[in-house]
A and B are shown apart, each in its own frame.
Chain A
Amino acid sequence: MKEFNLDNYANVYDFMDNNEIIFSYKGPISQEILIAVGDTIKTELPAEDIENKIIKRIFAVFIEEAQNVLKHSFDKHYGDKKKETGVGLIGIGKKKNEYFFIFSVNVVQNSQIKKLKAHLDHINSLDKKELKDYYNHQRKTAVLSEKGGAGLGFIDMARKSGQPLEYKFNKIDNDRSFFEILIKIPYSSGVNK
């Protein structure tokens, strides 16, 4: 860090406010953290004009994004007992009364990008019925990885959203990039039914 400037913290606050981010967390995303933040979704987001199932979709997408960061971020934190936890940024916002968005950012190795991009583009090319079939196929044929991954996370997010997954890779250096993903959950139900 070049210099310690207190204005920067206010800038982060302002940036979040201006972009309608309700809350966000950056750091090691342990199972304990994601449980606590997940509880916040269940207690703080419900409002009179939001159906329960919308909150459940937001919660589900949040858990999948958070567990992706926990398991797959290339940036690691080692806590007590030397347990390895992925580091990342995750948050939730609301665009007026149109949709909620759940976003995450984590570091990936450049060598992983091609495969990840192909997977995301494939998901985005599918219609609702094809997405369901793909989900079912993966569910039946996948073998859980050592980390407990089923290869279903992004497919499930796309099903919950009913809209394309928005993502971007931002190069850090020759080895690493930031992977950003944003999932929208329409505010009113029926849209992605």
Chain B
Amino acid sequence: MKSFYIDETRATPKIDFNLKKNELSIIGDSYPENASIFYREAMEWLTEYLQNKDRKVTINLQLTYWNTSSSKVITDILEMIQAYHDAKGDIFLNWFYEEDDEDSFDNGEIFLEEHTFPYKLVPFTI
């Protein structure tokens, strides 16, 4: 397995899954026409990566805007994190929200409210 990296574009985020650091980051705007096509390879990589429950994983989700197609993918990623945690895996999520935008903060609470894995809501400014 190798690290996975995709550069940011205007409508898609940077995806930086670093195998050495066990730090996986998705950063930027996400409104591809079809999120399931855009994220397919990243999700396949993530599925394989999370099979190994001996890693100490940090996930950073720093999305400034995502469309509803992407929200489904984000939901799936959170469920994968939950499954890893439920299987006694060591995993931590940093969920970034925009400091001056209460919608952004609310989104974090809505997406995370039913999850029990460890996470932190981290403010950032653009």
Contacts and interface: CB of A to CB of B under 8 A. Distances in A.
A140 interface: yes
Interface of A: 31, 35, 38-39, 52-53, 56-57, 59-60, 63-64, 67, 70-71, 132, 135-136, 139-140, 142, 144, 147-150, 152-153, 155-156, 160, 193
Contacts of A63: 31, 65, 67
B75 A153 contact: no
A56 B104 CA distance: 10
Contacts of A139: 71-72, 75
B61 to A, nearest CB: 15
A64 B68 contact: yes
A148 B32 contact: yes
Given A142-B72, A144-B69, A148-B36, 6 more contacts: A31-B32, A56-B65, A64-B67, A136-B110, A139-B75, A193-B102
Contacts of B11: 31, 35
A149 B69 contact: yes
Q: Size class of B's contact patch? A: 20 to 34
A144 B101 contact: no
B2 interface: no
B71 A152 contact: yes
Nearest to B79: A140
Nearest to B103: A53
Interface string B49-75: 000000000000000010111011101
Contacts of A160: 103
B10 interface: yes
Contacts of A67: 31, 33, 67, 69
